[in-house]
Structure 1
Amino acid sequence: MAKTKPGVSAPKLKAGKKDLHSYTIRGTNKVVRVGDCVLMRPSDIGKPPYVARVEKIESDNRNNFKVRVRWYYRPEESLGGRRQFHGAKELFLSDHYDVQSAQTVEGKCIVHSFKNYTKLENVGAEDYYCRFEYKAATGAFTPDRVAVYCKCEMPYNPDDLMVQCEGCKDWYHPACVGMTIEEAEMLEHFVCFECSEDDFKQFQNGFHASPVSDAKVESKRQKR
């Protein structure tokens, strides 16, 4: 299966065909409905499956099934390519629509919101997330800005371990504060350099530093 090129109008579903609410993936008992996210057979063997959202399903009198889809792009498929903060399961919802044979649908998946994905206790093979919409022709993203963390001021990558400062509540990559991942995982408490300096200045001026919380340092990473 090959995607149409971005910017090229997707073929229109022909008149006289019947709109369907669902389609059962060949050889399985999995039912695909309009609005579901699906895995679709790639054009090149060895590549990961394409991911798309089903917008419409139709059949003709010969039982040929077609699906109109809206493609998700992986970071490496975008004009800017994959960047450090892009997670392994990250996708961009594009404005690229297409019509494909339903026989190219290989399975179903779930594309979570970024917030819901970060709350998952365990991430399965069929779990993905999306925090950006993407214009395939121009490479523009919506939103064009997201929150950044740590001294490196990078957006959050849920694949990476981060530790939270008990003072300022900001999140830090262990490497950015001079720690290994193993050292960070063993921490009971963490206070960043800036907050440590503030506490020292308060002590010099005759003020007591804020008491350290009894809570353990939280790690900002998903279980897999």
Structure 2
Amino acid sequence: MTASYGSFELQGVRFFVGDVLVARASDDGSTLPYLGKLVAIELDETGSVALDMRWYYRPEETQEGRQFHHGKKEVFSSNHYDRVYVESIECKALVLGLDHYHELHQRLAAHSRELVQEGVSADHVYFCRQHYRTDTNTFAPALDVYCSCKRPCNPDKLMIACDACDDWIHGECAGLDDKGIAALDNYVCDACKSKKANAS
């Protein structure tokens, strides 16, 4: 027989079903901790507190690996469930949609805050914009693509709009870093420059 619960307390912090938790991946800290949503809490036959988790994946943990468009704090929800025990839990985390993630970081920067909410530090705030199926190694939904390279945007990097065609161009593709983009009053992409040159 097992007993189910709605929450548990660890080191003075209460964890609830539905919270996102950080779980230790290795005892020596050589591996990044796991990130997962707490689905259920049970007391098993041995009296140990068992936690059923639905894992988030970092880009490096997928078959595709980290790509140009992946943000530093980007994770993917997944269909991978597993059970861990309470001893492996380090702290809470927060996974937000991209818009809410940007809004939160702007508020934190404005108020110099390091703690987002009880048990969640700013270091453990992530964003999610896709779901990863581990059985098929596929992502959904598909991300919009931009620029002549036809790649999605990286939320950590600025893009620049062409004043001639209104297309969005990656700073990297335009040969500009974030400071260079911020310093420009107007910009014309290479494709529009070529069209103008060919027409003259």
TM over 0.5: yes
Aligned 8 A contact 1:76 1:82 in 2: yes
Of residues 65, 78, 86, the one that matches 1:81 is 65
Aligned 8 A contact 1:118 1:158 in 2: no
Residue 36 (1) aligns with residue 19 (2): yes
TM-score when normalising by structure 2 = 0.79
Q: Map 1:132-211 onto structure 2 (within 5 A).
A: 132-143=130-141, 145-166=142-163, 168-193=165-190
Moved more, 108-117 or 93-102: 108-117
Give the unaligned 5+ runs of structure 1: 1-15, 205-224
Give the unaligned 5+ runs of structure 2: 110-121
Q: Map 1:61-76 onto structure 2 (within 5 A).
A: 64-76=48-60
- SS of the counterpart of 1:39? strand
- Structure with bigger strand share is 2
Distance 1:191 1:38, change over 3 A: same
User: How far apart, in 1, do the equivalents of 2:20 and 2:159 lie?
Assistant: 30
User: How far apart, in 2, do the equivalents of 1:118 and 1:148 lie?
Assistant: 20
Q: CA RMSD in A?
A: 2.8
User: How far apart, in 2, do the equivalents of 1:38 and 1:129 lie?
Assistant: 14
Distance 1:19 1:78, change over 3 A: same
Structure index of larger Rg? 1
- Tell me the matched-pair count: 185
Aligned match of 2:3: 18
Moved more, 95-104 or 39-48: 39-48
Deviations 1:151-192 (CA, angstroms, capped at 9, x unpaired): 222111111122233454432222322434432221233343
User: How far apart, in 2, do the equivalents of 1:23 and 1:133 lie?
Assistant: 28
Residue 53 (1) aligns with residue 51 (2): no
TM-score when normalising by structure 1 = 0.71
Aligned match of 2:115: none
Shift of 1:146: 1.4
Shift of 1:38: 0.7
- Structure with bigger helix share is 2
Deviations 1:131-153 (CA, angstroms, capped at 9, x unpaired): 1211212212222x210122222
Deviations 1:20-67 (CA, angstroms, capped at 9, x unpaired): 111112x2x222111111100013622211000000012258752111
Runs of 4+ in 1 over 6 A off after TM superposition: 196-200
